[in-house]
Amino acid sequence: MAVLDIALMGDPILACEALPVEDPGDGAVVRLVADMVETMLAAGGVGLAAPQVRHRARLVIFQLPPGRSADGRGVPLTVLINPRIEPLTDDMDPAYEACLSVPGLTGVVPRWRRIGYRAWDLDGRLVEREAEGLHARVVQHECDHLSGLLYLSRMQDLSSLAMTAELHRQAALRAKENT
C-alpha cells in the first residue's frame, strides 16, 4: 500500500468523466482501493474518488466515524464501483463542504437530503443503500468527482466560499466570547 498524490484543483483529470470499471475484483483495482484508503486516512478525509488520485475509474471510497452519520453509528469503510445515485426527496440541505483536491477552502453546497445508491463492491456484490445527512452528502460529493465536478460548481452563492482556517478562527472567537 502507498499514500498517493492527490490531484489539486486545476489538474485536468478532475474535469474528466471517469470510465466504468470492468472487473471489480481485478488485482489492479484491489491495489488501487488499498492505496486510496491509505491516502484518504493520511489526508484526514472521509471520502476519496479515483480521479483525485489520477485514475479515471468510476470508483469511490468513504467512511464516517461514529457520531458523524444521521443515526450516530457512523458508516464503515465502503467501496463503490460504478455507482449510481437517485434522489429520494426533492428536499435539499445547504451545508459547508470541503475537498482534499481544494485544500484550505470550504463553501456552502446544496445536496439532496436523502438518496438511494447502488454500486458494486470489490467482491462483485451489489451494494444498495439509502442514505441521509452527511452520509448522503459524502456519496454525492465523491460521485461528482466521477463526472468531473468539484463542489465549487454546485455552489449557488460564492459569497459563502471561505478559508477553512478563518472559519475555525471565527468559531473559536465566538466560543471564547460565550465563556
> Which residues are catalytically annotated?
142
3-state secondary structure of 92: strand
Q: Domain 12-177 is in which class?
A: alpha beta
**Stated pTM of the model:** 0.93
pLDDT digits (tens, 9 = 90+) for 127-174: 999 999 999 999 999 999 999 999 999 999 999 999 999 998 998 999
- Report d(CA 93, CA 155) in Å as an integer: 12
- Report d(CA 88, CA 114) in Å as an integer: 5
Say how far residue 108 (Cα) sits from the centre of its chain: 15
pLDDT digits (tens, 9 = 90+) for 29-82: 999 999 999 999 999 999 999 999 999 999 999 999 887 766 778 899 999 999
- Report d(CA 112, CA 130) in Å as an integer: 12
- Report d(CA 80, CA 86) in Å as an integer: 14
